[in-house]
Amino acid sequence: MIEIKNIYKSFDQKEVLRNISKVFNKGETNLIIGRSGSGKTVLLKSIVGLHEIDSGQILYDDRDFTTMSPKFRKKLREEMGMVFQGGALFDSLTVEENVRFPLDMFSLLSSAQKQKQVDFCLERVNITNANKLSPSEISGGMKKRVAIARAIVMNPKYLFCDEPNSGLDPETSLVIDELIHSITVDLQITTIINTHDMNSVMEIGDNILFISGGEMCWEGNRKEILYAENHKLQEFVFANKQYQKIRDDKINQ
């Protein structure tokens, strides 16, 4: 479980996040949603420590990340996995070497055991016959899946995904969503996903935080989101007329 309390963050005196508090549960896909520029990525990067917050608290299973020494932060980071917007695979390494990299860096497993773990993770994300290819030789969807495999290879307790569906077609997006959701449930990890994709919200949104203009505006789950009375949330959700129709049809029924 990850808990954030009263997070404030600014860049050059421009306030980007204001007073955000939320509990992200274990075994659930927790979503941070909002328009582009609303502060989602800054919040996610603040939670993982890539940005230092101005004030507030970030607790990883009651361990205070904000006051932790760099040494302990580094140790805690070995329990994290992150999927970046563009995949962020290392260009100079093959698919297999990318997934193996965290094991080579931190694990004391034998070479054969590492290979077994790499094969297991690649199989888990349905990547076959691509082990020796370089990231430039695979598609965008495959890159995201390899990035997920790399993120879970160390059996993390916390998984972070920044816009995992950006630039992907709807079908591949669905595959990625289902993959992240099943990994979260099967491995019982705490997953936080940044997205503005309403299809993802409706598919896997167990626990949703909606932020607008750097402020927390609404929280709930995918069943509640269509009927929420929040004006800013409605503008965001019903920008897609299809969801307006779904809600109207259900209300009529």
Partner 1 sequence: MNVFYQTGRYFSLMLKVFSKPERHSLYVRQTFNEIENLGVNSVGIVAVISIFMGGIMTLQVAYNMTNPLLPRTIIGLGNRDTLILEFSSTIMALIMAGKIGSNITSEIGSMKVTEQIDSLEIMGVNSAGYLILPKIIAVVLMFPLLYILSVFFGIIGGMIVGPAVGAVTLADYLNGVQNQFIPYYVIFSLIKCLVFGFLIASISAFFGYTVEGGAFDVGSASTRAVVNTNIMILVWDLILTQLLL
Binding site for partner 1 (CB under 8 A): 45, 48, 50, 74-75, 77-78, 80-82, 84-86, 88-91, 101-102, 104-106, 154, 160
- Using CA atoms, how far apart are residues 25 and 22, in angstroms rounded to an integer? 10
Closest CA to 219 of 227, 210, 231: 210
Q: How far is the CB of 21 from partner 1 (least distance, A)?
A: 23
Q: How far is the CB of 222 from partner 1 (least distance, A)?
A: 27
Q: How far is the CB of 104 from partner 1 (least distance, A)?
A: 6
Nearer to partner 1, 57 or 85 (CB): 85
Nearer to partner 1, 152 or 225 (CB): 152
Structure tokens at 80: 């994290």
Nearer to partner 1, 56 or 86 (CB): 86
Q: How far is the CB of 74 from partner 1 (least distance, A)?
A: 5
DSSP 8-class letter at 159: E
Total length of the chain:
253
CB-CB contact of 195 with 180 (8 Å): no
Structure tokens at 27: 């075994």
Angle (CA) 205-188-22 rounded to 5° is: 50
Q: How far is the CB of 18 from partner 1 (least distance, A)?
A: 24
Q: Which residue has the tokens 């004030």?
A: 55
Nearer to partner 1, 134 or 199 (CB): 134
Beta-carbon count within 10 A of 144 CB: 31
Nearer to partner 1, 105 or 112 (CB): 105
